[in-house]
């Protein structure tokens, strides 16, 4: 109740929520209280949280930040949403995001930009900017995000919170509006690694409704949080400390690494030689998959429909022209081009080959070290409106995108400030090593 009032007071300015589900939240909070009274409540029962507006939520508006889905009330809930509800958490609503999760600043939302709670002239990062801002502003203790190329870790870094992208396949994608299906992964954004561990316990696991979710035992992610770090081998990728890295961010990250040394870790330099190829590879694969996933928005089955269409072709054309924003259209055009006959081998197939090399870089590095550390983003949060060309925006994701291409887990934890702007330390671990990743992150907090 207190948080709902706080949202009412602060969110008109921050704009982190698209929908506040007040009545459902109050009902569910009462149910959690009753559960507690019966002594049946688990550790998450009654915990308020928010869901990025990309998670289908039965009976609730689910927009993906788009005019195209501006009136879409989901007829079912995503597996993540169901699992969270089963633990007794109380969703307060759906958070703002870049349209269809395409962006790094939350400026591509049909529902307007989100402001960074630390400084309202700055962006919160994206695409899960609403989730990050809601947590940072103390509107909810945790929120769910999705990360296709950095969308959990970069906004977590910009807003000074902790955000975890699990291994691809660890969490079901069923009911999450698809952007790039081979890269999308849902994860928690919260105030600490411990909270992320509790939430990962709730959402991880195989789902028969998502064939890419992995049937592998889900450990208790809180169990090893306090394990000592003696002998931990940390790798610092040379390529993550090069040109374009803000000196203040670099200093904060290097200071964080020194803390780990004082806890008994050893630090070595490693190389991820294909780092330069990650952004071009991603911008072939992600738009290709997006153009295919977004072809379902045709104005017929659901979503925005133009007024008075002349014929079917006019209906498709105008519904899509009106419903999608500029960045989404750009990605659809790129993806349609790279998948078209005669170009497929030169672009998409080539990109898949490079993707394998990028993945191999990480596997080779993890032969030598336990975890990798570096910055989550090359700069701290930038001003609203400051990045006007798409390519400079794409370069924001230089340290996060390769992780999605490789499928490994990554976390961003708060590691100080440049002025009043938070910095995120990114920690990376081998596939399915989330428990260890959370242990390492927790040691710093």
Q: In this chain, which stretch among 76-84, 145-153, 271-279, 412-420 interacts with ligand GLN, using CB under 6 A?
A: 145-153
> What 8-state DSSP symbol labels residue 36?
H
3-state percent helix, strand, coil for the chain, nearest multiple of 5: 40, 15, 40
- What are the structure tokens assigned to 194, written together? 């411990």
How many residues contact ligand GLN, by CB under 6 A? 13
Cβ closer to ligand GLN: 145 or 430? 145
Q: Report CA-CA distances (Å) from 108 to 30, 309, 387.
A: 36, 27, 12
Does residue number 149 form part of the binding site for ligand GLN (CB under 6 A)?
yes
- Is-catalytic flag, 127? yes
Cβ-contact 198, 44 below 8 angstroms = yes
| Residue 240, burial from CB neighbour count under 10 angstroms (0-12, 13-18, 19+) | buried
Mark whether 151 is an active-site residue. yes
Binding part of the chain for ligand GLN, among 111-119, 147-155, 249-257, 352-360 by CB under 6 A, reads 147-155
Q: Out of 151, 172, 213, 291, pick the active-site residue.
A: 151
DSSP code string of 226-259: T---TT-EEEEEGGGGSTT--HHHHHHHHHHHHH
DSSP-derived secondary structure letter, 166: P
Whichever of 45 and 408 has its CB closer to ligand GLN, that residue is: 408
Answer yes or no whether residue 103 interacts with ligand GLN by CB under 6 A. yes
Nearest Cα to Cα of residue 372 among 238, 199, 279, 282 = 238
- Work out which of 7, 51, 80, 102 binds ligand GLN, going by CB under 6 A: 102
Least Cβ distance, residue 137 to ligand GLN (angstroms): 21
Q: How far is the CB of 401 from ligand GLN (least distance, A)?
A: 7
Using only C-alpha atoms, the chain has a radius of gyration, in whole angstroms, of 21
Instruction: Confirm or reject binding of residue 104 to ligand GLN (CB under 6 A).
Output: yes
Q: Which of 127, 222, 281, 412 binds ligand GLN (CB under 6 A)?
A: 127
105 contacts ligand GLN (rule: CB under 6 A): no
Determine if 253 is a binding residue for ligand GLN (CB under 6 A).
no
Q: Which is nearer to ligand GLN, 154 or 439 (CB)?
A: 154
The verdict on 378 binding ligand GLN (CB under 6 A) reads: no
CB of 312 to ligand GLN, least distance (A): 31
Under DSSP, the state recorded for 382 is P
Question: Would you count residue 150 as binding ligand GLN (CB under 6 A)?
Answer: yes
Q: Which tokens is 309 given?
A: 């269409």
- We find the least distance from the C-beta atom of residue 286 to ligand GLN, in angstroms, to be 5
Please state, in angstroms and rounded to a whole number, the distance separating the CA atoms of residues 92 and 51.
8
Q: How far is the CB of 272 from ligand GLN (least distance, A)?
A: 19
Q: Among residues 63, 79, 106, 148, which is the contact residue for ligand GLN, using CB under 6 A?
A: 148
Could you tell me the CA-to-CA distances from 116 to 23, 96, 136, 399 in Å, in that order? 27, 12, 8, 21
CB atoms within 10 A of CB 98: 32
- Can you tell me which of 60, 234, 286, 406 binds ligand GLN, judged by CB under 6 A? 286
- Does 121 participate in catalysis according to the annotation? no
Rounded CA-CA distance 182/288 in Å is 11
Does position 151 bind ligand GLN by CB under 6 A?
Answer: yes
Query: Which positions from 169 through 188 interact with ligand GLN, judged by CB under 6 A?
Result: 179
Could you give the CA distance from residue 130 to residue 169 in angstroms, rounded to a whole number? 24
Q: Which of 105, 127, 128, 213 is catalytic?
A: 127
Active site positions, annotated: 52, 127, 151
Q: Site residues (CB under 6 A) for ligand GLN?
A: 101-104, 127, 147-151, 179, 286, 397
């Amino acid at each position: 109740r207190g948080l709902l009032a706080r949202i009412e007071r602060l969110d008109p300015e921050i704009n982190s929520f698209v929908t506040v589900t007040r009545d459902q939240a109050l009902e569910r909070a009462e149910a959690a209280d009753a559960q507690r009274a019966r002594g049946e409540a688990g550790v998450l029962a009654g915990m308020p949280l928010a869901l990025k507006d990309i998670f289908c939520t039965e009976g609730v508006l689910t927009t993906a930040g788009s005019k195209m889905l501006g009136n879409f009330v989901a007829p079912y809930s995503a597996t993540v949403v169901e699992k969270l509800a089963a633990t007794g958490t109380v969703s307060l609503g759906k958070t703002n995001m870049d349209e269809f999760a395409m962006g790094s600043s939350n400026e591509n939302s049909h529902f307007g930009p989100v402001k960074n709670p630390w400084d309202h002239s700055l962006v919160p990062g994206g695409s899960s900017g609403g989730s990050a801002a809601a947590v940072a502003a103390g509107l909810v203790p945790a929120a769910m995000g999705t990360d296709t190329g950095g969308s959990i870790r970069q906004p977590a870094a910009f807003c000074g919170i902790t955000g975890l992208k699990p291994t691809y396949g660890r969490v079901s994608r069923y009911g999450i509006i698809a952007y790039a299906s081979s890269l999308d992964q849902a994860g928690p954004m919260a105030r600490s690694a411990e909270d992320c561990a509790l939430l990962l316990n709730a959402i991880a696991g195989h789902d028969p409704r998502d064939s890419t979710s992995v049937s592998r035992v889900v450990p208790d992610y809180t169990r090893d949080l306090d394990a000592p770090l003696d002998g931990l081998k940390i790798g610092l990728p040379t390529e993550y400390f090069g040109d374009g890295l803000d000196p203040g961010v670099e200093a904060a990250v290097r200071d964080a690494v020194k803390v780990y040394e004082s806890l008994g870790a050893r630090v070595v330099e490693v190389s991820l030689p294909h780092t330069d190829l990650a952004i071009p590879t991603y911008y072939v694969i992600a738009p290709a998959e997006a153009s295919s996933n977004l072809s379902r928005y045709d104005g017929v089955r659901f979503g925005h429909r133009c007024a008075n269409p002349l014929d079917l072709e006019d209906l498709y054309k105008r519904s899509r022209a009106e419903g999608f924003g500029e960045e989404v259209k750009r990605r659809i055009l790129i993806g349609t081009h790279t998948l078209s006959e005669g170009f497929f081998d030169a672009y998409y197939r080539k990109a898949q080959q490079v993707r394998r090399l990028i993945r191999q870089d990480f596997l080779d590095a993890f032969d030598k070290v336990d975890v990798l550390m570096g910055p989550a983003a090359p700069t701290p949060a930038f001003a609203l409106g400051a990045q006007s060309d798409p390519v400079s925006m794409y370069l924001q994701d230089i340290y996060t995108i390769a992780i999605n291409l490789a499928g490994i887990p990554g976390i961003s934890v708060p590691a100080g400030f440049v002025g009043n702007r938070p910095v995120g330390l990114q920690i990376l671990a081998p596939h399915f090593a989330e428990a260890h990743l959370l242990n390492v992150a927790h040691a710093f907090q």
